[in-house]
């Protein structure tokens, strides 16, 4: 289906982008367009104005600060995969980005777009939550930072409000932590049925499950199989049923991927 008519703006500064977003009620940022143009074609979203972020080159930067990372919201998935900063600071981010969809999606799709869409089957929301990332959100009233634990608020909903822009994702230094990720996708590189990210540090695992709820589910446990299974069983998960998996099967898979993610985090 063709796109419905829509106004289009391509600002060259972040300030102009925020001004456009905050002065038009129906304005929406356009990043890689890998989700947004599809939902617009399906008439599931109908913004009045698309504010294209692709001229905002400063939002593409990836830098390393004190062993941690600053990922510009417009850094592409392929940019992350190729980044030497990511490879040395938190290589799990590149490993997971490389599992997303196909090369075309990874060339166009951005880290910010993946996180802001908050599709519960996406790879990055549980990962950035497990890593303890912080999101920087800019609006006409200024900048604020939101911890990942509070950023994802519902299906397709995040703490980024109307008129605001996610500008960067700050990932702390590993500082001795190990990181892991595991998923059961629909075929190779397909959408996840269930996924889990984990960090293990000082004998404690932080485990974040995806695809089982509207927002990533955060758990903690000792990093052994029995404790991880017990934490998942005790989480009161009520995952959705669909054509790919029943609720019971997703609950079962959640235990499996949580154990694998924690094992991966311990090398
Ligand atoms: C065929 C296909 C398969 C896919 N499979 C997977 C998969 O298995 N796993 C996975 O994780 N992802 C998957 N994706 C999604 C992909 O990873 C993209 O990252 C994702 O679509 C969004 O990135 P984007 O840059 O294209 O954002 P867009 O589509 O441009 O935007 C997505 C949403 O985020 C908002 N937004 C974007 N940037 C910002 C910002 N800086 N501030 C505020 N709001 C913003 C937009 O307004 C829009 O609402 C798939 C996509 C396709 C097309």
d(CA 242, CA 11): 40
Query: Is pLDDT at 2 greater than 80 in this prediction?
Result: no
Query: Is pLDDT at 243 greater than 80 in this prediction?
Result: yes
Domains of the chain: 7-52 (3.30.43.10), 58-171 (3.30.465.10), 178-265 (3.30.390.50)
Q: Best of 6, 29, 81, 113 to mutate for ligand 1, by most ligand atoms within 8 A of CB?
A: 113
- Taking only the tens place, the pLDDT of each residue in 21-73 is 999 989 999 999 999 999 999 888 889 999 999 999 999 999 998 899 999 99
Query: Is pLDDT at 133 greater than 90 in this prediction?
Result: yes
**Residue 120 Cβ contacting ligand 1 at under 6 Å:** no
Ligand 1 atom nearest the C-alpha of 160 is 43
Question: What's the CA-to-centroid distance between 19 and ligand 1, angstroms?
Answer: 22
Residue nearest to atom 14 of ligand 1 (CA): 101
Predicted local confidence at residue 4, as pLDDT? 82
Predicted local confidence at residue 54, as pLDDT? 98
Ligand 1 atom nearest the C-alpha of 37 is 29
- Taking only the tens place, the pLDDT of each residue in 175-206 is 999 999 999 999 877 899 999 999 999 999 99
**Residue 198 Cβ contacting ligand 1 at under 6 Å:** no
**Residue 183 Cβ contacting ligand 1 at under 6 Å:** no
Residue nearest to atom 1 of ligand 1 (CA): 101
- Taking only the tens place, the pLDDT of each residue in 69-103 is 999 999 999 999 999 999 999 999 999 999 999 99
d(CA 155, CA 215): 7
Query: Is pLDDT at 261 greater than 90 in this prediction?
Result: yes
**Residue 31 Cβ contacting ligand 1 at under 6 Å:** yes
Ligand 1 atom nearest the C-alpha of 106 is 17
């Amino acid at each position: 289906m063709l796109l419905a008519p829509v106004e289009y703006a391509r600002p060259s500064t972040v300030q102009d982008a925020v001004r456009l977003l905050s002065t038009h009620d129906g304005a929406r940022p356009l990043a890689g367009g890998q989700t947004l143009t599809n939902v617009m074609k399906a008439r599931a979203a109908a913004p009045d104005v698309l504010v294209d972020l692709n001229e905002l080159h400063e939002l593409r930067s990836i830098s390393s600060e004190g062993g941690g990372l600053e990922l510009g919201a417009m850094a592409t998935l392929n940019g992350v995969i190729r980044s030497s900063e990511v490879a040395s600071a938190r290589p799990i981010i590149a490993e997971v980005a490389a599992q997303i969809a196909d090369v075309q999606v990874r060339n166009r799709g951005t880290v910010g777009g993946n996180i802001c869409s908050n599709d519960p089957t996406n790879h990055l929301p549980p990962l950035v939550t497990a890593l303890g990332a912080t999101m920087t959100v800019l609006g006409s009233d200024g900048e604020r930072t939101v911890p990942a634990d509070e950023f994802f608020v519902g299906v397709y909903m995040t703490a980024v409000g109307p008129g605001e822009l996610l500008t960067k994702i700050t990932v702390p230094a590993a500082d001795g932590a190990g990181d892991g990720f595991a998923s059961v996708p629909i075929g190779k590189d397909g959408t996840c049925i269930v996924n889990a990210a984990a960090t293990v540090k000082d004998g404690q695992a932080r485990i974040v499950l995806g695809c089982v709820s509207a927002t990533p589910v955060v758990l903690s446990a000792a990093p052994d199989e029995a404790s991880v299974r017990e934490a998942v069983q005790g989480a009161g998960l009520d995952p959705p049923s669909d054509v790919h998996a029943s609720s019971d099967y997703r609950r079962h898979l959640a235990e499996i991927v949580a154990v694998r993610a924690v094992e991966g985090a311990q090398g």
